[in-house]
């Protein structure tokens, strides 16, 4: 069986290193390229705590794309880097898996159009943890009966976008079954701006950023005399790996954009 050849953009980051480690351990995958802005020439195997692989970290993406065999490129960097780098990847006929949040609909539409033109697959998801997908599914079901909803999402303090992609996706899913209305007292006011969080169709979302956190979300639904809480905690980046490995193996089977892990499970 031919292995799927995989490249990783942002290979030296926390997520990038974990992704590289799991690719190296997966019998169906072969890590063939590692790109980052640091550690040029270092072996990716030693960087992730494994034996040398012969795959050196490169800091010139154009050269890497010209000289490496890649079936799927994985990017978990940031939205600006994705828009700068991924079009170059797609134009080389390489399938793409993106775990970066913060991309606008216009940017995703542009990448989708480009992927279809180049006849390659593109996969984007705000969260690759199976438990997070179930949390969103359960929250949507619960909101049919508990339409008063607030979300608290907590992430590490290096995350750039707020609210998180997972929180936005959760709100969008709930909005499909919940009629828009304003929650809380009609004369409610904030003594400190932003105290009530962001407003999405009357639902409130609160973003917390602290060192020590990874990715956490609680959906709190209120009814007369009761509340229901649906919570998911990512305790380590390992929880994202099964979903990412699945996306890498699946993305070569379609053309254009597929969004959300729930669509490939």
For residue range 110-120, list pLDDT tens digits in order. 999 999 999 99
Same-domain status, 114 and 23: yes
Closest C-alpha to 215, from 106, 126, 94, 96: 126
In tens, the pLDDT along 51-76 reads: 999 999 999 999 999 999 999 999 99
pLDDT for the residue numbered 136: 96
Same-domain status, 184 and 113: no
DSSP 110-147: HHHHHHHHHT-EEEE-S---HHHHHHHHHHHHHHTT--
* Catalytic residue numbers, as ranges: 155, 159
pTM of model > 0.85: yes
Q: What is the CATH number for 183?
A: 3.30.360.10
Same-domain status, 117 and 242: yes
Upstream peptide bond of 2 is cis (omega within 30 degrees of 0): no
Same-domain status, 214 and 247: no
Residue 59 has, within 13 A of its CA and on its CB side, a CA count of 6
Same-domain status, 119 and 244: yes
Same-domain status, 249 and 228: no
Same-domain status, 149 and 177: yes
- Give residue 170's pLDDT band: very low, low, confident or very high (50, 70, 90): very high
Name the domain count of the chain: 2
Same-domain status, 46 and 174: no
Expressed as residue numbers, the domain containing 48 is 4-124+238-263
Same-domain status, 10 and 79: yes
Rounded CA separation 161/182 (Å)? 25
Same-domain status, 147 and 251: no
Q: Cβ distance 116 to 256 under 8 Å? A: yes
Same-domain status, 12 and 120: yes
Same-domain status, 144 and 120: no
The mean pLDDT of the chain is: 96
Rounded CA separation 20/74 (Å)? 10
Q: What is the CATH number for 90?
A: 3.40.50.720
């Amino acid at each position: 069986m031919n292995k799927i050849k995989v490249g990783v953009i942002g290979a030296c980051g926390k997520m990038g290193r974990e992704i590289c480690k799991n690719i190296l351990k997966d019998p169906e995958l072969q890590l063939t390229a590692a790109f980052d802005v640091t550690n040029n020439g270092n072996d990716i195997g030693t960087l992730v705590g494994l034996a040398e692989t012969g795959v050196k970290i490169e800091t010139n993406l154009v050269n890497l794309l010209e000289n490496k065999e890649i079936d799927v490129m994985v990017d978990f960097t940031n939205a600006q880097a994705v828009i700068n780098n991924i079009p170059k990847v797609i134009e080389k006929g390489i399938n793409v898996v993106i775990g970066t949040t913060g991309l606008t609909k216009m940017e995703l539409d542009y990448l989708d159009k480009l992927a279809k033109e180049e006849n390659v697959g593109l996969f984007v998801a705000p969260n690759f943890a199976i438990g997070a997908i179930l949390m969103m599914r359960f929250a949507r079901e619960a909101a049919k009966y508990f339409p008063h909803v607030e979300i608290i999402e907590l992430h590490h303090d290096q995350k750039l976008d707020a609210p998180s992609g997972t929180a936005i996706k959760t709100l969008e899913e709930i909005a499909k079954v919940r009629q828009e209305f304003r929650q809380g007292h009609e004369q409610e006011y904030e003594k400190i701006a932003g105290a009530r969080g962001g407003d999405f169709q009357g639902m409130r979302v609160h973003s917390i950023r602290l060192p020590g956190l990874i990715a956490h979300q609680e959906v709190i639904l209120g009814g007369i005399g009761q509340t229901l809480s649906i919570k998911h905690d990512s305790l380590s980046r390992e929880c994202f790996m099964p979903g990412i490995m699945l996306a890498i193996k699946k993305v070569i089977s379609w053309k254009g954009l597929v969004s959300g892990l729930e669509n490939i499970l």
